[in-house]
Structure 1
Amino acid sequence: MTYFTCFFLDNEKDIIVNLYKDLDRMFYVLKTPNHGTGNLIRNLSRICNLPLTKDDNDMLVIKGEVPCFIDGSNRESYIFRLRDTKVASIYPDGTVEVKATIPAIAKTLMSQTKDFVLPVEKTIFKTYIRRELKFRADLHTHMNGNLSGDVLIALGISHQIRYPLYYVKKLDLKLTDAQWSRLNEQREKVARQFVSSGLQGKYLDRRINDNTFINFADLILNNLDNAEDNIVKIRGSLAVIKDGQAVFTNLEKVYLYRYVFCKAVEHEEPINLSNKVEMIPDIDVKNALMQMLRDKENPVYCSNTIFQDKLLWIARSYKKQGIYYAEISDTTLVKKYESLEMLRQVHEVMPSIYKETGVMIRFLAAMRRIPLTIIKDAVTPENYLEQNLEVLKATALDPYVAGCDFVGEEINDIITLKPAFKEIVKIAKVDPSFVIRVHAGENDSQKDNIAHSIECVRDSLEPGQPMPKMRLGHGLYTYSLASKKGKEALKQLKDNNVTLEFQITSNVRLNNLNTLEKHPLKAYLKQGIACVQGTDGAALYGTDAIDEQLSLEKMLGLSDAELQLMKDAETKIIEESQKAYSEKKAAFAKLLGDRSIEEVLLEKMQTVKISRGKTKGEVKLDANTELKDQITEISWDRLPVVLIGGSFNTESRSTKLSANATKQIDELLEHLNPEEVSFVIGHTLSGYEKYLLDHNDKGFRVYSFVPAVITKREADKIKASGVKVRVSTEAQAMGIYKSFNYEIFERRPSMVVAFDGNSAAINLIQEAKNGKGKADIFVWANSKNLMQKAKSLQGYVHSFDSETRLVDVMDY
């Protein structure tokens, strides 16, 4: 057999169908090389009733023949089917027309479990949408999450960016001997600059490797023997993890990999590109790069910066998806000098982009609800919100700025930021088109956030001021709509004309949605709430606007009438936004006169002071200082047993002890040996954690992870308990699950015993499953929240109850 061609069943190129010919017969080999667990291909073979076999590399594959058909015009084509779905037509000239795909949401759910339960019709989608119901906007997305890995790789080559040695090593990229020689020579020079830095060990190595660079074009084009493998590894680093659901920690790491391309710096030593581009083994990277080289000969785009090319390719991608209006959230627009440079570049290139693509791109100036902690050594000033608002008051004047956004992991109550809204609604008073968007209801840890977001805006209005245009991103979780609080939230949504934005794929891939049965979209549509679709940065999650609409329709069973309601809500926003752009453009031109954007907007930036009001609760203290006598490393001579049940709830939700559950702890303490295991808990020392401490008669070591800042009451409680302490880098209690991952699940074997909790506990369980160290996970069967998560991890989590005792299901 000879190789013929290949195609992919998904956007991320994870499900590959290789085609081979033997005379006039065609055969296929379906592979999932980027998925190490084998869950994806096993589940796919089962639901499609296809046999599994192994290839020469001992990897699972699905093999079969593709039958040939002759149509009424005597034309031959080979038809590839999965079950009863026509997936692709393959023609003798090598053309492949893909008719159906597997969306990212189904692929994730198949990868997550050993026992996939969704039917084939919710797994393989025909890629057709009725024209009159086709969504035409992306109203919830993020600047550095839009472009596919292939386009980013092509951009990196085209602009010959600096690629850090740290990522070369982290991804285990293969370089030529000559490339390694040049890199190591450069590294020696860089290392000399850190002789007096005070850094040691891995921290010193990391800093040196972060500042040692190879020209990315050199890495790919002068290393073609390894280019295919390297491209696959780099592409994989630019999307969230493959074998199951991710958590916010993983998303933050992916953004760091993307920043290398999205916030790139060009290398000081360029190479000649033209003679090797045709030899790039990945056709999508090659085609994108060839177009970028043609763009360099176009007078309109020849001087494009990386950022301008990024905008161009975002617009081209949207055009391909049938999208012609997008609002992109970006934190750059609240940074003083960076925002001015960004807007200058936008005004330079956007008219040409619009002329070519017909896609209008506008922006939401994004402010973080909590400081970013994943970037080491980054110091966020205490008054960062005031600084953001100072810039926002100026950048909001620009016609390309449609509004503002509060972004970041939803682990705090938005009500704590209420003083900032007083300044934001002042902008909306002057500009009635200004959109106020809040990420709210993304997970179940803050069920008040939908209502509180509306309250923050409504209570900040001046007398007689109308409610501004307001949208809430995600909107998944609030109190039951049948409850008193739920009915009030629904009333506020209606009375204030708030629009909800839904992004189903990112909800699943970020571990915020583990079952589709209770998704609220249909209920909101039934109640007359305006609902629209977004992608949340499609490329991060292996989706696009078309896949996203198909996923909403198929997974949630939306009718044409319900899709029409969403389409009508979207159309209204598009029309209002286009009108607002035109009016703001005229006003902005008049404001500028003959002055530059930088000069005028700097003049409009005025110091903002926001009243913090009375601090809710007690004064926060530095945990490292308060608990210094109890801080110690988790010892390596004992297996850590993470007990979840008390600290992983929101403040308004307390754990109620069950006698059957406490009996499990009694038996566990009796069964385990304090010389072989230690326990690890959260910081509240409540619920089942408190029960553990109160009944620790055998003297197990108990470690408590605590937030970076705590109250005096919390500090006194921890001191009195005698637990050993680990201090998280996270200031928010709901974020300390990340430290369990860094210090335990990524490093060593462990056990997790989960009795109670909501989103933080669910994230902790997912981190344990994803971690490099093997974790045995046990979930109390009477916890509805946690069992939902456990069922999505079928084969990786064991449940226990009074009948199926924990000590009986443990392999320890």
Structure 2
Amino acid sequence: MTYFTCFFLDNEKDIIVNLYKDLGKMYYVLTTPNHGTGNLIRNLASICKLPLSKGDNDMLVIRGEVPCFVDSCNSESYVFMLGGTEIASIYPDGHVTVKATIPAIAKTLMSQTKDFKLELDKTIFKTRVRKDLKFRADLHTHMNGNLPGDVLIALGIAHQIRYPLYYVKKLDLKLTPMQWEKVNAQREKVARQFVTSGLQGKYLDRRINDNTFINFADLILNNLDNAEMNIVKIRGSLAVIKDGQAVFTNLEKVYLYRYVFCKGKESEEKINLHSVDLIPDADVKAYLKQMLTDKENAYYCKNTIFQDKLLWIARNYKAQGVYYAEISDTTLVKKYESLEMLRQLHEVMPHIYRETGVMIRFLAAMRRIPLTIVKDAVTPSDYIEQNLEVLKATALDPYVAGCDFVGEEINDIITLKPAFQEIVKIAAKDPSFVIRVHAGENDSQKDNIAHSIACVKDSLAPGQKMPRMRLGHGLYTYSPSSKKGKEVLKQLKENNVVLEFQITSNVRLNNLNSLEHHPLKQYLKQGIRCVQGTDGAALYGTSSIDEQLSLAKMLGLSDAELQLMKDAETQIIKEAQEAYSLKKAFFADLIKDRDMEEVLLEKMQTVKISKGKTKKEPKLDSNQELKEQISEITWDRFPVVLIGGSFNTESRATKVSKKAAEQMDSLLEYLNPEEVCFVIGHKLAGYEKYLINHNKKGFRIYSVVPSLMDKKEIDKIKACGVQVRVSPEAQGMGIYKSFNYEIFERRPSAVIAFDGNSAAANLIQEAKNGKGKSAIFVWEHSKNLMQKAKSLHGYVFTFGDEVNIVDLLNDIQKDLMNSIKQ
């Protein structure tokens, strides 16, 4: 057979259909090379009722023939179908028209489980939307998550960015001998600068490799024999994990890979950009050729990487039929970086708008908690005050539509109420100013929707109208039939608050495991304005069109319900365009003939927010207070992670049931303290407390604690005598990340889960995703965790009334012991 062409069934190029011709007939081989578990292709074959066979590298493939059809004009075309759905038309000249795809949500759920349950019509979508119902805005997205990996790779080549040796090694990229010789010589020079650093081992290697670079254009263009596989690996690093759901830790790591391109610095030693037509990836090649053509355009020839990002974001939106976007960006609350960003914006955006017709504006984003993923980054204690100082100035710019509170939702937004008092003052001077809060993204903080509204309402000056307010995600609050739930609905409606939904990111980030109780239809029924966003589409393998199709198909939205969302979006776009025009005139009058940066610097006034009167005790440094108990988790015992006490909301306590206590008793009797240790959270409550109080055999118990705790919490840890691991996370709901680093990524383990909210679900997902093999057990009477367990069918054991956990352990003891020996 002769290779003909190929096409993809998804945005991330994970599901590949290779086409071959032989004696006038066409055949296909469908592969999923980026999905190592095989779940994706097995589940796809099952729902489409197609046979599986083995392909190259012993991986599963689906093979078949593509029938040829002749139309009334005697023109031939081949039609590729799956499960009775027409997917693509293939023409004799090699042109392929794709008519249906597999959305990122369905792909993720198929990858996650060994028993996929969704119907075929919720798995394969026709990629078309009624024109009059088509959404035209992206009202919830993030700057560095917006562009597809192929565009970023092309940008990296065009701007010849520095690519760190750390990522070359991390992704196992292949370099030529000459490239290795050059990069290793540079590494030797860099290493000399760290002789007195005090760093050792892997920490020293990481620092040296982070500061040793190869020209990215050199890496690709002078290494064409390895370019195809290198591009696949780099593209994979720019989206969240493939084989199942991710958690926030994974998202933060992906952003680090993206920053290399999005915040890239150009190499000092440039090369001639040659052999572009020989780049094996058609999309990367096409993007790069256009970027080289842009260098001949008077408007774009001097574009920075940031300006080219904006240009390609706008082009990407235009291709999707989107003409208005508001992008969250933390740069706009950083003093000098914000000024440089605005300068570049004003230089290039008029030309971008003229070409694409896409208006891009920004929300100045502040982090609800300090970022911990960036090593050695020191966040000042008054960072919110510093952000507000800058926001007072940047909010004047017409390209700034408002502000946003971003970051993982593991704290109550009410703790930031003093900041809202300053933000509301900005809104008082600018009625168009949007206040957006990420709230209700997971079930750990069910008060956050109500508290977000209260933070704004309670901060209003006498007679001041409620500002324009939007809440990002809005998935979780109290039941609409409860007293609290009814009050939330009332507040949303009375204050004209807009809810933004991003269903793909909710699923891929482990915040939505069941689509049955999604609240969107209920909100629309109550007359609450709802719109769609993408949350940084490229991170999740989605697009504006796929997102709308997913909302409609997965949640069963009617045309009337889609029209309600369309109407809300249309009104927001109209208001935003009017606001831009008014602010543009005001800004021009403000600046006059002065330098913009000089004027904005004058407007940056020191902000001191009130800490308010609080009964909460000051937080203490766990590393100092518990230093006598800090100990590395022993390597001569098998770690059993017990979930049931520390991973609930602050207001929800775990209650130990009699039947669950019996399971605990049998577990403690069965396990051997010479072979097993327990790892728990920091609250020492619920089943954690039960373990400590019934530890008659003397199991070694480790408590993972946040970096900051109050005296009462510290004293509780000291009194019970557990050994301690201190997480870099200051918030209790964030310590699940440390379980991943300490255990799941490094060694085999078991997880026994009795109770918990989103943080517990994240911990379970981390155990499933980790490199170390983990046996996961979930108590069948935990409603929240059973949703997670069902989404991980084949990877989780459930125990309860009919099944004792000891019986399960006996059944898999052989596998566990083999894991320990390995």
What TM-score does the superposition give when structure 2 sets the normalisation length? 0.98
How many residues align? The count is: 811
Counterpart-to-counterpart distance in 2, 1:420 and 1:122 = 43
Fraction of identical pairs, as percent: 81
- 1:269-303, CA deviations, whole angstroms, 9 ceiling, x for partnerless residues? 00000x31000000000000000000001111000
In structure 1, the partner of 2:389 is 390
Counterpart-to-counterpart distance in 1, 2:615 and 2:359 = 43
Q: Partner letter of residue 805 of structure 1?
A: N
Q: Partner letter of residue 486 of structure 2?
A: K
In structure 1, the partner of 2:453 is 454
Counterpart-to-counterpart distance in 2, 1:711 and 1:309 = 47
Q: Partner letter of residue 597 of structure 2?
A: E
Secondary structure at the aligned position of 2:373 is classed as: coil
Matches within 5 A, 1:248-259: 248-259=248-259
Matching of residue 731 in structure 1 with residue 730 in structure 2: yes
In structure 2, the partner of 1:741 is 740
Counterpart-to-counterpart distance in 2, 1:692 and 1:383 = 40
Q: Partner letter of residue 369 of structure 2?
A: I
- 1:26-45, CA deviations, whole angstroms, 9 ceiling, x for partnerless residues? 00000000000000000000
Matches within 5 A, 1:251-650: 251-273=251-273, 275-650=274-649
Q: CA deviation at 1:505?
A: 0.0
Q: CA deviation at 1:128?
A: 1.0
Counterpart-to-counterpart distance in 1, 2:277 and 2:459 = 59
Q: Is the 8 A contact 1:706 1:726 kept in 2?
A: yes
In structure 1, the partner of 2:60 is 60
Q: Partner letter of residue 167 of structure 2?
A: Y
Q: CA deviation at 1:364?
A: 0.1
In structure 2, the partner of 1:120 is 120
Q: CA deviation at 1:23?
A: 2.3
Counterpart-to-counterpart distance in 2, 1:717 and 1:586 = 60
Counterpart-to-counterpart distance in 2, 1:204 and 1:613 = 43
Q: CA deviation at 1:314?
A: 0.1
Q: Partner letter of residue 695 of structure 1?
A: H
- 1:560-582, CA deviations, whole angstroms, 9 ceiling, x for partnerless residues? 00000000000000000000000
Q: CA deviation at 1:615?
A: 3.1
Counterpart-to-counterpart distance in 2, 1:613 and 1:196 = 45
In structure 1, the partner of 2:786 is 787
Q: CA deviation at 1:616?
A: 4.4
Counterpart-to-counterpart distance in 1, 2:623 and 2:501 = 40
In structure 2, the partner of 1:94 is 94
Q: Is the 8 A contact 1:661 1:802 kept in 2?
A: no
In structure 2, the partner of 1:677 is 676
In structure 2, the partner of 1:173 is 173
In structure 1, the partner of 2:223 is 223
Secondary structure at the aligned position of 2:662 is classed as: helix
Matches within 5 A, 1:696-775: 696-775=695-774
- 1:753-790, CA deviations, whole angstroms, 9 ceiling, x for partnerless residues? 00000011000000000000000000000000000000
In structure 2, the partner of 1:198 is 198
Secondary structure at the aligned position of 2:3 is classed as: strand
Counterpart-to-counterpart distance in 2, 1:25 and 1:16 = 20
- 1:194-217, CA deviations, whole angstroms, 9 ceiling, x for partnerless residues? 001111111100000000000000
Q: CA deviation at 1:611?
A: 0.3
Q: Is the 8 A contact 1:413 1:448 kept in 2?
A: yes
Q: Which runs of 4+ in 1 moved over 4 A?
A: none
Q: Is the 8 A contact 1:187 1:208 kept in 2?
A: yes
Q: Partner letter of residue 635 of structure 1?
A: T
Unaligned runs of 5+ in 2: 814-822
Counterpart-to-counterpart distance in 2, 1:405 and 1:56 = 48
- 1:294-327, CA deviations, whole angstroms, 9 ceiling, x for partnerless residues? 0001111000000000000000000000000000
Secondary structure at the aligned position of 2:365 is classed as: strand
Q: CA deviation at 1:56?
A: 3.2
Q: CA deviation at 1:619?
A: 1.6
Counterpart-to-counterpart distance in 1, 2:466 and 2:234 = 46
Q: CA deviation at 1:629?
A: 0.5
Q: Partner letter of residue 532 of structure 2?
A: Q
In structure 1, the partner of 2:186 is 186
Secondary structure at the aligned position of 1:115 is classed as: coil
In structure 2, the partner of 1:158 is 158
Secondary structure at the aligned position of 2:421 is classed as: helix
Q: Partner letter of residue 34 of structure 2?
A: N
In structure 1, the partner of 2:16 is 16
Q: Is the 8 A contact 1:111 1:244 kept in 2?
A: yes
Counterpart-to-counterpart distance in 1, 2:769 and 2:664 = 26
Q: Is the 8 A contact 1:336 1:391 kept in 2?
A: yes
Secondary structure at the aligned position of 1:731 is classed as: coil
Q: Partner letter of residue 463 of structure 1?
A: P
Counterpart-to-counterpart distance in 1, 2:504 and 2:407 = 17
Counterpart-to-counterpart distance in 1, 2:627 and 2:682 = 15
Counterpart-to-counterpart distance in 1, 2:315 and 2:23 = 40
- 1:107-127, CA deviations, whole angstroms, 9 ceiling, x for partnerless residues? 000000000000000000001
Q: Partner letter of residue 193 of structure 2?
A: Q
In structure 2, the partner of 1:82 is 82
Q: Partner letter of residue 39 of structure 1?
A: N
- 1:428-478, CA deviations, whole angstroms, 9 ceiling, x for partnerless residues? 000000000000000000000000000000000000000000000000000
Q: CA deviation at 1:596?
A: 1.6
Q: Is the 8 A contact 1:779 1:798 kept in 2?
A: yes
Q: Is the 8 A contact 1:664 1:802 kept in 2?
A: no
Q: Is the 8 A contact 1:433 1:469 kept in 2?
A: yes
Counterpart-to-counterpart distance in 1, 2:628 and 2:801 = 39
Q: CA deviation at 1:597?
A: 1.3
Counterpart-to-counterpart distance in 2, 1:625 and 1:614 = 27
Secondary structure at the aligned position of 1:404 is classed as: strand
Range moving further from structure 2, 301-310 or 615-624: 615-624
Secondary structure at the aligned position of 1:753 is classed as: strand
In structure 2, the partner of 1:47 is 47
Q: Partner letter of residue 259 of structure 1?
A: Y
Counterpart-to-counterpart distance in 1, 2:596 and 2:358 = 23
Matching of residue 689 in structure 1 with residue 688 in structure 2: yes
Secondary structure at the aligned position of 1:34 is classed as: coil
Counterpart-to-counterpart distance in 2, 1:719 and 1:601 = 51
Counterpart-to-counterpart distance in 2, 1:428 and 1:113 = 47
Counterpart-to-counterpart distance in 1, 2:656 and 2:635 = 31
Q: Partner letter of residue 660 of structure 1?
A: K
Secondary structure at the aligned position of 2:58 is classed as: coil
Counterpart-to-counterpart distance in 2, 1:23 and 1:150 = 35
Counterpart-to-counterpart distance in 2, 1:743 and 1:729 = 12
Counterpart-to-counterpart distance in 2, 1:620 and 1:238 = 37
Q: Partner letter of residue 27 of structure 1?
A: Y
Counterpart-to-counterpart distance in 1, 2:490 and 2:149 = 42
Counterpart-to-counterpart distance in 2, 1:618 and 1:56 = 61
Counterpart-to-counterpart distance in 1, 2:599 and 2:714 = 50
What TM-score does the superposition give when structure 1 sets the normalisation length? 1.00
Secondary structure at the aligned position of 2:229 is classed as: helix
Counterpart-to-counterpart distance in 2, 1:79 and 1:792 = 34
Secondary structure at the aligned position of 2:362 is classed as: strand
Q: Partner letter of residue 383 of structure 1?
A: D
Q: Is the 8 A contact 1:411 1:732 kept in 2?
A: yes
Q: Partner letter of residue 370 of structure 1?
A: I
Secondary structure at the aligned position of 2:326 is classed as: strand
